[in-house]
Each structure stands twice: as C-alpha cells, then as structure tokens.
Chains A and B, each alone.
Chain A
C-alpha cells in the first residue's frame, strides 16, 4: 500500500488506545504521532536507511560522458555468470545516469530467454519528472547484447527501466534447474517488514520510559508501537509480495494473499477512508458531553456504504459502454509500486 494509507492505518490503530485520546484531549499528541510514524516506519527503514548499506556483488555504473550499452550488457552477463559459477544469490545494482541538475539518461534492460541474451538499449534523456527531452530518443540507436548461460525468469512485470534518482537492485536467485529467478529490490520487505521488529521497537520504547519511571507510558507506548507497526506488515501481506513476518526466526518472505496490488487506487483510498471513519468513531466514543448520538452502524452507513453505493452507481453510469476509456491502474508488482511511489513522492 501507499505510504499515506499505512500512515493513516497507524493513526487509526493508535486511536483504539483510550490513553491516546485522553492524552490528546490534554494537548499531548505523542501517541497519535507514534501511531502514524510506526505505520509508515517499515518502508522508511528500507528506503531511507537500509538500501544505502545493502552490499551488491556487481555494480553497473555507466559512464555519463560515454554511455555504452554494450558495457552495461556485459556487466549484467558477468553477474549471471558469477551466479552460475558460484551457484549463489547474486545482488546486482543498476545505477542511474545523471547528466545534469535535472536530466537523466534512461536505459532499459531486457532478459531475452529465447535468444539466451540480455539486451540493453539507451532511451531518451528524461527530466526529473520522467518527461523525455525532445530529440534525444535516438541518440544511441545501438543495442548492447551479451549472451547469458542461464535463463533469468521474471515472475512479474517489474519495469527494468533505469532513469531518475536511484537505480534498482536486482537479485538473481538460483533455482534447482540451473536457471535464476529475478527478484526486484531484494532489500525491500526483508527484516524491516516483520511483526517481531515492531515488538522489538516497542520494547526499546518501554525500556527508555522505564528509565524515567514512566510506567504507564512504557506499556501504552509498547502497545501503540507494536500495533501500528504490525498493521503495516498485515496490510502488505494482503498484496502479492508478502513480508518476512517473523525475522530473525524466518529468513524468507511469506507470500502475500494476492488480494490486491499495493498501487491499487481503490484499495488505498478505502484504507485511508475507513481509517478516518474508525478514528472518528473512537474520538466520538470518548468525547465528553456529546449532544449528538449515533451508532457504529449508522456511521458506517452514512460514511461508507451509502456514499460507496452512490459512487459505484455513478461510475457505472458515467462509463456505460465506455469500457476502453476506463483507466485501470497498471498492474505491477508490489515492490515496483513501492519503488515508483518513492520516486514519484520525491
């Protein structure tokens, strides 16, 4: 899911703690801040910290002054050969090519298993908004080709297009049949996306509070942190990629439930909106001296079911017989979605 959805889910979970609302009514926003921050923290750990310390076996760093697609293809083929020779997991970094303050040279990598080769084609120069600069598309017409000794199987449609900001990491995982599975962003959703990590951070908080003899803050903060961190992991588990749920007791990601993609517009909006409604309900429950009264069912009907039905009907009406013009979100892998979101948010 997108960062904002995780963030709001975290705030919603925090609002279930009566202590959070009581503290807020006294002017203390700590638990809600903790909730939102822990809701987004797993991605923060990956994208703001871990990826800069993640060691790679092969770094592909094209020369911005003399971009050579053949050299890039050769480097990628070398990584595959290294995997075959040493029969181990290879981590390959495809670095971006910055040409100026706002310009980047785009290149595309394709594993052609039919021909048994990897191809690299330099595309347009793009600006930081990923808009191609006119007249740059055919500056490098040649295609770099290098033979690879094994098939590299891409199980989902992650874009191996390198352009702005940081380039992607590719993991080449050896299979029993001698081929490799391609993993996009292997550093993502590793140890950071574990339920145990939330417990660990909660314990750290509690210990810090205990140093100041703040008993209540210790257990209340622990519950808030562990709960809000967990909701991120659980939400990600609804997608395809899954998470490494019990690191360090588990070493691999548990595959997700495939209910949605992390970039689905409707799923993200629903997560945000339902979080808002739950926060509202929790605030209402503990609000002193209310003159208005309503039930949870009433709130959900007015806030979710009726508007949702109207929206659904309106959408059907406005797109009646207009199937082609609907704009579904492009299907992509969760890691690809998270990666693109990070770049777009920047």
Chain B
C-alpha cells in the first residue's frame, strides 16, 4: 500500500476511534494516547517497530476528532473537560430550551472554522513568524501567567448583595462569592503544589498524574449538580439550519482564535483560560458568536498546540499530545509538517461529518432515559476511568479535588478558579519562588 493510503487509513482510524471515545464523559484523549504510546514502546522493545507514517496521522486524528466531538458530552451531558468549561452553561441553556442539537452543532461549526483558520491562515505563517515570537517572548512566559492569574481573579464580579440598605452587611453578602473564588484558587493551587512536587500517583502512569484532580475539579461537580438539580429535559428539536452567516463565523474566529492561540502558545495556559479570553476578547452580545468562539478556541488550543511541534524551526512542545508524540518521534522538516496539516484537514472534515449522527444518538439516549440517570451513568463512567488508570490513589485525589471543585458550585463563584491547580504552582516555579512554598509545605 502506498504511503498516501497508509496515512489516510491511519488518520481516518484515529479520528473515528477518538470520535466515538469522545462521547464517553470523563475520558480524555490523552489517556488513550498515553496507553497507545506505552503500547508502541513495548512493541518496539519486542522488535516490532511501528512507522511514523502510521502513528503520527493516527494521533493527529485522535487529537482533532476528540477536540471537536467532545462537545457532545460537554453540552448534552454537562460533563466538560476543563477546556470546554465555558460551553456548558450556554450549552445547557440550549438543551433546556429544546435546542441541544443546535448548540452542539454551532460549537462544532466553530471547531471546523478553527480548522480552516489553523490550516489556511496560521500554518503558512507559522514557520516564518512563530520562531520570531518565540525568541522575543521566551524570557517572559512567567509574567504572562501572572497577569492571566490577576485577570482571572479581578474579573470575577460579586453576585450577592442584591437587597437591603447600603453598608457593610451588603458588602459582605456580595463578597462571599469572591472570597469563595479566592479560596478555591488557593486550595487548588496548594493541591497542585502537592501533585506536581510529590505526586502519590504511581510512576508508571506519571503522565496521568493530574488527570484525577482535573476530573474531580471539573467533571464530577457538574455531574453531582445535574443529579441533584436537573430538571426534565424538554423534547429536543433537530434543526435543518444553524442560521449562521459569514459575519458570525468571522467574529467567532477572531475571538476564539485569540483565546485559543494564547492558550496553545503559552505554557500551562489551558483551554479553559483560552475560553475565558475568547469570551472577553471582544464585546459580543450575540450568544451564537460566544458559543461558536468557544468551539474555535477549544480546537485551536488542542490542535494548534499539537501542530506547533511540527512547525519547522520553531522547536516548541506544547500540550500533552505533543509531549507524547515527542517520546516516539522527532519531527523532521516540511515533510512531517505538511503531512500533519493534511491530516488535520481530513480529520476535521470527518469529525464534523460525525458530529450530527453522534449528537442525534446522544439526544436519542437522553430522550429515553431520565437526565438524572444519564448524569449518574456519566459519573459512574468517569469514576471507572479514574480507577482504571490511576487506582485507589487516583480516586482519593479525585475525591479531594471534588471537595475543592464543589466550592464554586456551592457559593456560586467562578469554576475557572480551579485552574489554580496548575497556574499557581507553575507561575511560582517560573518566577523562582516555587521552592520556598514547597519547602514551607514540607514537600521538599
């Protein structure tokens, strides 16, 4: 078989597998890719080498397929990974007004627009301009993290203090949510120091060491909230048109491209932060632009970060997918770059085609079983995944993280504060005083 068909078959297989797995709540594509990497390494050690023409397109397809199709559990089941955090509320708004399919497809359309932007706009410019950016910005990553932290904290507004006479009582009532947000950020940050300094997770699955914490911080609280408070999901309508136009698509691309681009380029800035920045980058009152922008941002964050590994002359590794590929293969020149770009285009098109039937299937499922039961099932799957990958110690970490992740739910503060788990320890480390804190915590 010519290498063209090998690449095509691999990228299609990777996309289809990850697309189906993306519908399972709580399962991250990096878990599956991690297992794949271990499998390939063990095959290599037993003398069976898997060529890059097979695993590179497959892994590209997995990242692309998952980044687009994981919209389905985020919007329809309310079980987001961290990067899809901002799609849940508007997504559930659509779901509760019988337009869950529309909300899902608008986000997917954003991802498709993100693919166009990445392949047709970013990719040709990247080898020329990104190395320049890298040279200018390389000494400044730490303060970028600090200003993101500052903005995250300062841009959360009080929600209480709605009634009563002016004064301290009203002020305190309003500030309860903000204090809960700060407490969440600090507690998540302390948990992050522990996990990044002395992780209790077995070294054999060290690359998954943050996974149980992320599940506990983001996915489990959503599931619990849905189980406790979910209203009956109304009958869902399948629309034939998404009522989009070029103007909406362009605006979504500019906001999502900026947010997702920052998240993809800067270390530790995750898709959730990218989503927040995408929402803030432009003043958009049009809800469809916001939702679509989130789709763009999520796609650029995952796939853009993966693509950077292959940009000739850049030498930049961002995101779990790229790090895993790097253990197997060192990208070489334009050949690998063009192959990966082609794979991104094919996989994005295929994933978009898979979106509609998979979204309809999930809605069919929700229609037949109670939404609470669907959330319970989703929670069960998530916990099984955590246990299967990290064992009891992972379950313990997930339980602790759930405690922190429930704080925003209980006090109505912003859930993004949970990202303190990465932002705080890494920003402290990059600014050179992380060790002071770990010593104070008795970790070093």
Interface of A toward B, CB cutoff 8 Å: 1-5, 7, 11, 24-25, 27-29, 32-33, 36-37, 40, 44, 47-49, 52-56, 59, 61, 95-96, 98, 101-102, 127, 129, 131, 134, 165-167, 262-269, 272-273, 280, 283-284, 287, 290-292, 294, 302, 311, 314-315, 317-319, 322, 325-327, 329-330, 337, 340-343, 345-346
- Closest 4 pairs (CB-CB, A-B): A318-B246, A29-B143, A4-B280, A52-B171
From B98, which residue of chain A is reached at the shortest CB distance?
A: A134
Q: CB distance A329 to B151 under 8 Å?
A: no
CB–CB B285/A263 < 8 A: yes
Q: Are B136 and A280 in contact (CB under 8 A)?
A: yes
B250, A264: Cβ atoms closer than 8 Å: no
Nearest-CB distance from B296 to chain A (Å)? 14
Chain B interface main SS type: helix
Determine the chain B residues whose CB is within 8 A of the CB of A337 once the complex forms.
283
Partner pick for A330 among B157, B248, B282, B285, CB 8 A cutoff: B285
- Indicate whether A287 sits within 8 Å of B135 (C-beta atoms), given known contacts A2-B280, A49-B171: yes
For B128, give the chain A residue with the smallest CB separation: A302
Do A134 and B166 touch (CB < 8 A)? no
Is B277 a contact partner of A4 (Cβ separation < 8 A)?
yes
Cβ-defined contact, A134 with B234, below 8 A: yes
List residues of chain A with CB within 8 A of the CB of B159. 165, 346
Say which one of B57-65, B188-196, B251-259, B340-348 lies at the interface with A.
B251-259
Provide the bound-state CA to CA distance between A127 and B179, in Å.
23
Q: Does B162 contact A (CB under 8 A)?
A: yes
Contacts of B247 in A (CB 8 A): 315, 318-319, 322, 325-327
Complex formed: what's the CA distance from A311 to B136 in Å?
26
Q: How far is the CA of A302 from the CA of B129 in the complex (A)?
A: 10
Which residue in A33, A284, A294 is a CB contact (below 8 Å) of B143? A33
Q: How far is the CA of A292 from the CA of B314 in the complex (A)?
A: 13
Q: Is the CB of A40 within 8 A of B146?
A: no
Q: Of residues 100 to 143 in B, which have CB atoms within 8 Å of A's CB atoms?
A: 129, 131-133, 135-137, 139-140, 142-143
Given the known inter-chain contacts A131-B93, A134-B234, A273-B258, please indicate yes or no for A262 contacting B283, CB distance below 8 A: yes
Please tell me if the beta carbons of B162 and A98 are within 8 angstroms of each other in the complex: yes
Whether B96 lies near A131 (C-beta < 8 A) is yes
Would A287 and B136 be within 8 Å (CB), given that A33-B147, A49-B171 are in contact?
A: yes
The verdict on B90 contacting chain A, using a C-beta distance below 8 Å, is: yes
In this assembly, does B240 line the interface, its C-beta being within 8 Å of a C-beta of chain A? no
B136 pairs with A290, CB closer than 8 A:
yes
Smallest Cβ-Cβ distance to B288: which chain A residue: A327
Question: Contact: B142 with A27, CB < 8 Å?
Answer: yes
Chain B residues within 8 Å of A48, by CB = 157-158, 174-175, 178
Nearest-neighbor residue (CB-CB) of A268 within chain B: B283
Pick from B246, B281, B286: contact of A268, CB below 8 A.
B281
CA distance A261 to B140 in the complex (A): 33
Complex alpha-carbon distance, A2 and B166, angstroms: 26
Shortest Cβ gap from A8 to chain B (Å): 9
Q: Is A290 touching B135 in the complex (CB atoms < 8 A)? A: yes
Are the CB atoms of A165 and B162 closer together than 8 Å? Answer: yes
Q: Knowing A37-B150, A129-B89 touch, does A55 contact B171 (C-beta < 8 A)?
A: no
Q: Are B154 and A7 in contact (CB under 8 A)?
A: yes
